[in-house]
Structure 1
């Protein structure tokens, strides 16, 4: 915590790139085995490596119900838990996961220089609402946080939203002390009294709300034009090599969204098991998100179609402009970079009308 505030994020990003380079070198000798061990006779991959996070959306239902394992019986499904989208970006660069969940801010970074990750977005897990928020112990307004310690996972949607919230309140980043912590570490620091506020997501947010006050949520920021979402990313190489497996994955995600609408109790129970929450609380957290089925995701406001890429590309472009203004990325890519990053063909193939 001794770095000058303006340089911390730059150091964080530089460390990420350096760490990734070292990891890539370590994995270079075993790339053939790390990439799933090839294909089965039916063209499906022998292994599908999934990066998931503890977010109460359809992905946890798919995992809990083992739908992917049932739909791809000859494929070994490996689920690995990650704490943030920045970590997922690193894993994708290293080639150690095939499909993963990352927030729109880390994905914007991933598609921008210097990372330029070779991945695409085939699915929107959720549009973030009240499940991510800025919560404080002794503050009635964001302006009361001047000079205070605020924790958030750097390079996450929460980090992006926190910067937007500070800007909206007329505070500069230098007006507060930002601390980079993963969600579980935020909860521990909050309990010890080491921090004054945090921008984080559920289920940790739910714990902080017990003795803290929500000052602004991502739903509030979305109304101000700062929309965030949890996105799926798939390595471009994997998507091109195993389109049938990606189609199956997409269909299971769609199945999960439909379960939340037709049997909310069953969906909440599955999510609760994954988060170690009772079904009622899991259901409450689920309802704080906006989940979209496959047909909706093909709409103009979201991923769109191969002929007409959706507005998600514009959202990511706007996020890149904001991140560049905050010195979080080197340059703003062309809109076409984000449009080509939408896996609209895979989505259309999975949900042909």
Structure 2
């Protein structure tokens, strides 16, 4: 099996992510120094330019209002691999992270020192596999021998592997190419790739000249759901648990605003992404956003001492990645359970 089809080792994934994350890490080096020198009133938050409640929290400064004595730094990332590298470098306190890179992060003998503490959204039509119309490909099985780009170690990568397996294809039956969203768009426009599995907003640009073959909503319905989680560092849990409580409440408020104030939510997301309100509304409709009550329910994250179905989802994801030779071995369910931080979680409903 070729290295591309087998997938890189965790060490290579993290090394490859180093260049991508270096700018962000450098940009927040002063925060890192402050946090490590007793500056407990600083929070470094990693986020994606992707429609979610995170962007509402950022745009409306909900966390800054809740924690006026904290210095809040928002740092943009392109993929979960870069987020994992930043946590290893102790450059983040809180961050958005897909369920697949999280499963990778908690695997191995030296798991990344963080824990999942919230669910941002469930992947729906906002992540999908699209083939260039000029290829004439209309189903996943038609990708045999074709060049497919996706950001490795991401939820899209995981969903792509699941889609190939469902269509009777092995990773070695196609040419997998590791590209971030913007390079995917450039390669697409040049005709260098035949298909791509990626998320919004790049996804919508590909759809303009492509044919959608499947989506994360379909793959999730078939038994392999992916989610955008939020993780907190072990160091922050020990240093400033009250800040985690405030952050959770801000994220819960954002989820409520998505339901109660859709126009205001669209405006906030449009401002953060630099797109029209019409485009922001269309992108938000493609995601699956839980209510805070659903997040803490047994169907999803659960509560302290009683983890929900997310435990099974993450464990199953890790097992699939191990089966696909993307990680050396899947962590035990007990190891995954220990990577959940649910203390005080039910308080967000009060």
TM-score normalised over the length of structure 2: 0.92
Deviation digits for residues 274-306 of structure 1, max 9, x if unmatched? Answer: 111111211111121111232221100111112
Answer yes or no: is 1:208 the counterpart of 2:203.
no
Residue 278 to residue 114, structure 1, CA distance change in 2 (3 Å): farther
Residue 37 to residue 258, structure 1, CA distance change in 2 (3 Å): farther
What residue is the counterpart of 2:272 in the other structure? 274
* Contact 1:246–1:346, Cα closer than 8 Å, also in 2: no
What residue is the counterpart of 1:304 in the other structure? 302
Residue 31 to residue 256, structure 1, CA distance change in 2 (3 Å): closer
3-state SS of paired residue (1:316): helix
Deviation digits for residues 290-347 of structure 1, max 9, x if unmatched? Answer: 1123222110011111231111010000001100001111112111122222211131
Answer yes or no: is 1:9 the counterpart of 2:8.
yes
What residue is the counterpart of 2:72 in the other structure? 77
Residue 337 to residue 117, structure 1, CA distance change in 2 (3 Å): same
What residue is the counterpart of 1:55 in the other structure? 50
3-state SS of paired residue (1:69): helix
Regions of 4+ moved over 3 Å: 16-24, 29-32, 349-352
* Contact 1:152–1:198, Cα closer than 8 Å, also in 2: yes
3-state SS of paired residue (1:252): helix
What residue is the counterpart of 2:93 in the other structure? 98
What residue is the counterpart of 2:261 in the other structure? 263
What residue is the counterpart of 2:33 in the other structure? 33
3-state SS of paired residue (1:9): coil
Note the C-alpha offset of 1:6. Answer: 3.7
Query: Which runs of structure 2 are paired with 1:1-353 in the superposition (5 Å)?
Result: 4-10=3-9, 13-18=10-15, 33=33, 35=35, 37-39=37-39, 45-137=40-132, 138=135, 139-352=137-350
Q: Which moved more, 1:87-96 or 1:238-247?
A: 238-247
User: How many residues of Structure 1 are paired with residues of Structure 2 in the alignment?
Assistant: 341
**Aligned partners of 1:195 and 1:19: how far apart in 2?**
21
* Contact 1:268–1:282, Cα closer than 8 Å, also in 2: yes
TM-score normalised over the length of structure 1: 0.91
**Aligned partners of 1:107 and 1:246: how far apart in 2?**
19
Note the C-alpha offset of 1:20. Answer: 8.4
**Aligned partners of 1:211 and 1:90: how far apart in 2?**
34
Residue 206 to residue 36, structure 1, CA distance change in 2 (3 Å): farther
3-state SS of paired residue (1:295): helix
Deviation digits for residues 229-274 of structure 1, max 9, x if unmatched? Answer: 0000100120222111111101111111111101101101110111
* Contact 1:146–1:176, Cα closer than 8 Å, also in 2: yes
**Aligned partners of 1:262 and 1:21: how far apart in 2?**
40
Q: CA RMSD in A?
A: 2.3
Note the C-alpha offset of 1:15. Answer: 2.4
**Aligned partners of 2:183 and 2:16: how far apart in 1?**
21
Note the C-alpha offset of 1:127. Answer: 0.5
Residue 269 to residue 307, structure 1, CA distance change in 2 (3 Å): same
**Aligned partners of 2:152 and 2:215: how far apart in 1?**
17
3-state SS of paired residue (2:344): helix
Q: Which moved more, 1:299-308 or 1:165-174?
A: 299-308
**Aligned partners of 1:209 and 1:180: how far apart in 2?**
20
